[in-house]
Chain A
């Protein structure tokens, strides 16, 4: 399986993933595979209207059906469950947080909102009964458009808030209105004197992520242990605190388990959801296990919807190609916002923070308004918040280049932040790396002059080729400095490393992955540090009963924070092991005088002094006699890791397309990338992250779209209408690396993959516009589809 000889080389080895055998042979165990004796099944009755007052709910017929155990409606929760928001799932950002319960009370605010929940002996009976729960509605005017929602005369989604503006912020120019006004004036002054100004409205549609496994929850209650909840979740520890606080169950009586195997999260499984609360309540009330497994239809109606933003973006530049100032007025269609932790607006907030990207602006003026509408809440989706802002910025930079008659690639390179660390005009800290090196590596893969010659020849033949570029600064983990204000949670990583007398290693982590390969990467880190084999390492994640606190598998925390905590814990244990070994060998030595390799611990001063790793470990755990003074036996350590400042990774994309100017069809001929991912633990896994992210970006940009009609009805809640890319729809992807090890992590690793899709729509649409330069077509709206290209060409041709 592997050609690794020296066990230190596990770090960087292209190993097959430990988890793959069970996953591809049907032996994975997902939430829906867990069955408890006496388990009941839940089905939610969901609103058929986008906005309506509930005038009555008749559950009598359904309740009388054989096999139906209970039916709960909003009224059952009003006085028994605390309403949201509660502090544990509420960011430290000033916003109008709507009050809500697990089920709708008084009125429904989007098509698909849970109104009642039927608990029955099986799913068939539950669905039969759900059809017989009769809800009377009185329709209300639907709030659909975010800009109209912000108008003074708009109907209100959350009437008690008095406004549909759930969140607004100016991210630039200081804390006080005076400072911000001074900054805005300074930016305006730059625009006044600039040689070139581009001002454009960019729209990004509602799209996001559809994990292969939808959501689910199984709750079990007994009076001695309290509540055990298996949840498809990226953040079991937060879910645990939230369940405890909201249901007022003492914290020690709540345990949350994220199943080891989860079919993807990508952000969708990061919020605290009202459905989980309803099921936990039902299990406690009925004293029976209750399970809810979301259907695809429900999933597409309720979660994975993101990106929905309008950005009025302006760039000022000088005629010699210096980017001077950026000004953006963003409006996000927040949806209803009734989702714990994120509330819809946390994504656009970060999207605004990340707008300036890798360029050196003299000044910026960036602000954002988020409007509640009668749609599902925005939920986190990989490239959290900044898919739209990055599309807008990267597109606008090409438009500046067109005005300057300059190569867009050259304009970018001239304006890349030349050296790090650097703080962006929105205050985002870029810790380390080398943007120019990454860029130059990309350009080395793409012979731009040769492409331009080929493009000219092709045009003579009536074929239209185009090249597009974009780049992206992405978070490598989310530091406390950002995560405490943004989500009211700590950023540090935590890991417990436990050794057993047979020399096997058990790693416990509180974040709950969804298929990213944590078992393999973590095992490689441990194996390289202890000089053992990855097969000797067992990784357990997601059980709050056994793992240290972690804020969740979010924001590329594994390669940044989690493995760093693992490395730190291993270092502590190596320290102890070598202290005792030196004592046993009767030498004066400490950890740096030993090498851990190929299952042995070798004294570097005399290679004859060596012991099997397993023997030393067993001695310390099982035979703790004749120890050095002040030592005790046992080998287990929990370490916490947090870098002093936030960390980043960086990438750049190049896309080459051919456009059929008659039909608007376009095909991607090449997709080339350059990545700074820091030290690579497993290239297979890193390549896979990049492939998956780029495919998600392309699928979002070209195919996927959540559509609501005039009445706020969701029209895209199945895969016939919500189109996902298949393997046949995406190009070969050429991934190349130009890494700089991160100086702030023990292994030089960076967290990767979370933000990676964000540069995709810019590179793609820039390539299409480049192909259509003879007509001056400038794309400003997503999705980018053959029909929209054809329409743009038709307009350009008159």
Chain B
């Protein structure tokens, strides 16, 4: 498993250098390398055959977790280990830590990045579903100096597909200050601990003064169609107070509404069951975090 010929390897120190480097190549010839936890395998198996690799590991401005009056901005090159260890990511942002703490193994978490994961957008991965479930904004910059801000709903297009153009770099994922009484959570299931998700569920809820849910977002990972929202469940969660029976009804609705597939990890029926059992647990955690518990 050796890659095909790579003519040039570049390691820029800034975003502008990185964009300039990628602009020198035609479409499909050069690629950014983030933490390399998926891309290196894809290159070794020759699924990817870049002529030029632009390695972003020296671009310091792409790293870091910044809180600003409640708003949150996570640089694209921020590693899982940094997110998992960031104790300020709780309450409304709790799902980020839930997910980052269990991606791959320790070695993967020491190199893999949030930006790499969302740009790769593999079906069996956690971060795309979490960014979608938390309603994040993707900040992109292009060589011509242009920048774009895309909602997660518009960014994730399908398995291994996003709205990012190849000449664009993902700068960060960001969120405005969350509404009071917001909570999020994420959990996945795989045959072995910390495996790629067979099913993963991310839920964000915001509660009103009376403890009833006013806003809800649900996103799923592990489905053949890629990370996706589950509107049927969001609707049922809204207005509810998070009691067990109501959560179960919401998860039943999700399980019944999404298309699940059978593969060697789980059959379609069991995937629905996993959505129910994991989803109920995740929703309960999200409600508890929203209540400040």
Q: Is the CB of B192 within 8 A of A663?
A: no
CB distance from B204 to the nearest CB of A (A): 24
CB distance from B30 to the nearest CB of A (A): 19
Q: Is the CB of B192 within 8 A of A729?
A: yes
Q: Is the CB of B273 within 8 A of A790?
A: yes
Answer yes or no: A295 CB below 8 A from chain B CBs. Answer: yes
Q: CA separation between A295 and B44, bound complex, in Å? A: 11
B1-19 interface code vs A (CB 8 A; 1 in, 0 out)? 1111100000000000000
Q: Is the CB of A124 within 8 A of B5?
A: yes
Q: Is the CB of B193 within 8 A of A728?
A: yes
Knowing A296-B1, A705-B264, say if A728 contacts B270 (CB, 8 Å): no
Q: CA separation between A233 and B5, bound complex, in Å? A: 33
Instruction: For A296, list chain B residues within 8 Å (CB).
Output: 1
Q: Is the CB of B270 within 8 A of A720?
A: no
Q: Is the CB of B1 within 8 A of A663?
A: no
B191: contacting residue among A127, A297, A702, CB under 8 A: A702
CB distance from B256 to the nearest CB of A (A): 16
Within 8 A of A (CB), among B247-276: 264, 266-267, 269-270, 273-274
Least CB separation from B271: chain A residue: A787
Q: CA separation between A128 and B3, bound complex, in Å? A: 9
Least CB separation from B280: chain A residue: A662
Answer yes or no: A204 CB below 8 A from chain B CBs. Answer: no
Instruction: For B46, list chain A residues within 8 Å (CB).
Output: 127, 131
Q: Is the CB of A790 within 8 A of B193?
A: no
B194: contacting residue among A703, A705, A724, A726, CB under 8 A: A726
CB distance from B43 to the nearest CB of A (A): 12
Q: Is the CB of A729 within 8 A of B264?
A: no
B2: contacting residue among A123, A729, A791, CB under 8 A: A123
Within 8 A of A (CB), among B38-58: 45-46
Instruction: For B267, list chain A residues within 8 Å (CB).
Output: 787, 791
Q: CA separation between A662 and B274, bound complex, in Å? A: 10
Answer yes or no: B59 CB below 8 A from chain A CBs. Answer: no
CB distance from B89 to the nearest CB of A (A): 23
Q: Is the CB of B270 within 8 A of A721?
A: no
Knowing A127-B2, A705-B264, say if A723 contacts B193 (CB, 8 Å): no
Within 8 A of B (CB), among A693-708: 702-703, 705, 707
Q: Is the CB of B196 within 8 A of A703?
A: no
Q: CA separation between A787 and B45, bound complex, in Å? A: 31
Instruction: For A703, list chain B residues within 8 Å (CB).
Output: 191-192
B147-191 interface code vs A (CB 8 A; 1 in, 0 out)? 000000000000000000000000000000000000000000011
Q: CA separation between A663 and B46, bound complex, in Å? A: 39
Q: Is the CB of B191 within 8 A of A785?
A: yes
Tier of interface size on chain B: 20 to 34
Answer yes or no: A725 CB below 8 A from chain B CBs. Answer: yes
A663: contacting residue among B105, B193, B273, CB under 8 A: B273
A716-744 interface code vs B (CB 8 A; 1 in, 0 out)? 10001101111011000000000000000
Instruction: For B105, list chain A residues within 8 Å (CB).
Output: 726
Instruction: For A729, list chain B residues within 8 Å (CB).
Output: 192-193
Answer yes or no: A632 CB below 8 A from chain B CBs. Answer: no
Instruction: For A662, list chain B residues within 8 Å (CB).
Output: 277
Q: CA separation between A297 and B44, bound complex, in Å? A: 11
Knowing A716-B264, A787-B270, A790-B270, say if A723 contacts B2 (CB, 8 Å): no
Least CB separation from A295: chain B residue: B1
Instruction: For B2, list chain A residues within 8 Å (CB).
Output: 123-124, 127
Q: CA separation between A559 and B193, bound complex, in Å? A: 35
Q: Is the CB of B266 within 8 A of A787?
A: yes
Q: CA separation between A715 and B193, bound complex, in Å? A: 21
Q: CA separation between A705 and B56, bound complex, in Å? A: 37
Q: Is the CB of A128 within 8 A of B5?
A: yes
A49-90 interface code vs B (CB 8 A; 1 in, 0 out)? 000000000000000000000000000000000000000000
Answer yes or no: B224 CB below 8 A from chain A CBs. Answer: no
Instruction: For B3, list chain A residues within 8 Å (CB).
Output: 124
Within 8 A of B (CB), among A2-28: none
Q: Is the CB of B273 within 8 A of A726?
A: no
Instruction: For B270, list chain A residues within 8 Å (CB).
Output: 664, 786-787, 790-791
Answer yes or no: B195 CB below 8 A from chain A CBs. Answer: yes
Q: Which of B1, B105, B191, B193 has the largest number of chain A CB atoms within 10 A?
A: B191
Within 8 A of A (CB), among B180-232: 190-196
Least CB separation from A126: chain B residue: B2
Instruction: For A721, list chain B residues within 8 Å (CB).
Output: 264
Q: CA separation between A663 and B190, bound complex, in Å? A: 13
Q: CA separation between A405 and B5, bound complex, in Å? A: 68
Knowing A297-B45, A663-B273, A705-B264, say if A723 contacts B191 (CB, 8 Å): yes
Q: CA separation between A302 and B273, bound complex, in Å? A: 35
Q: CA separation between A702 and B191, bound complex, in Å? A: 8
Instruction: For B45, list chain A residues within 8 Å (CB).
Output: 297
Q: Which of B3, B46, B264 has the largest number of chain A CB atoms within 10 A?
A: B264
Instruction: For A726, list chain B residues within 8 Å (CB).
Output: 105, 192-194
Least CB separation from B267: chain A residue: A787
Instruction: For A297, list chain B residues within 8 Å (CB).
Output: 1, 45
Instruction: For B264, list chain A residues within 8 Å (CB).
Output: 705, 707, 715-716, 721
Q: CA separation between A779 and B45, bound complex, in Å? A: 39
Q: CA separation between A725 and B45, bound complex, in Å? A: 24
Q: CA separation between A724 and B192, bound complex, in Å? A: 8
Least CB separation from A783: chain B residue: B191
Q: Is the CB of A663 within 8 A of B194?
A: no
Instruction: For B124, list chain A residues within 8 Å (CB).
Output: 720
Q: CA separation between A295 and B3, bound complex, in Å? A: 13
Instruction: For A123, list chain B residues within 8 Å (CB).
Output: 2
Q: CA separation between A127 and B2, bound complex, in Å? A: 7
A766-798 interface code vs B (CB 8 A; 1 in, 0 out)? 000000000000000000011100110000000
Q: CA separation between A694 and B5, bound complex, in Å? A: 44
Q: CA separation between A328 and B3, bound complex, in Å? A: 50
A117-141 interface code vs B (CB 8 A; 1 in, 0 out)? 0000001100110010000000000
Q: Which of B46, B124, B270 has the largest number of chain A CB atoms within 10 A?
A: B270
Least CB separation from A705: chain B residue: B264
Q: CA separation between A715 and B2, bound complex, in Å? A: 21
Q: CA separation between A715 and B264, bound complex, in Å? A: 9
Q: CA separation between A405 and B264, bound complex, in Å? A: 36
Instruction: For A716, list chain B residues within 8 Å (CB).
Output: 264
Within 8 A of B (CB), among A625-682: 662-664
Within 8 A of B (CB), among A484-541: none
CB distance from A757 to the nearest CB of B (A): 18
5 tightest A-B CB contacts, nearest first = A787-B270, A728-B193, A663-B277, A295-B1, A127-B2
29 A/B residue pairs, CB under 8 Å, sorted by A: A124-B5, A127-B1, A127-B2, A127-B4, A127-B46, A131-B46, A295-B1, A297-B1, A297-B45, A662-B277, A663-B273, A663-B274, A664-B270, A664-B273, A703-B191, A705-B264, A707-B264, A720-B196, A723-B190, A723-B195, A726-B192, A726-B194, A728-B192, A728-B193, A729-B193, A785-B191, A786-B270, A787-B267, A791-B269
Further 17 A-B residue pairs, CB within 8 A, beyond A702-B191, A726-B105, A791-B267: A127-B1, A127-B4, A127-B46, A297-B1, A297-B45, A662-B277, A703-B191, A703-B192, A705-B264, A720-B196, A726-B193, A728-B193, A729-B193, A786-B270, A787-B270, A790-B270, A791-B269
Q: Residues on A close to B: CB < 8 A?
A: 123-124, 127-128, 131, 295-297, 662-664, 702-703, 705, 707, 715-716, 720-721, 723-726, 728-729, 785-787, 790-791
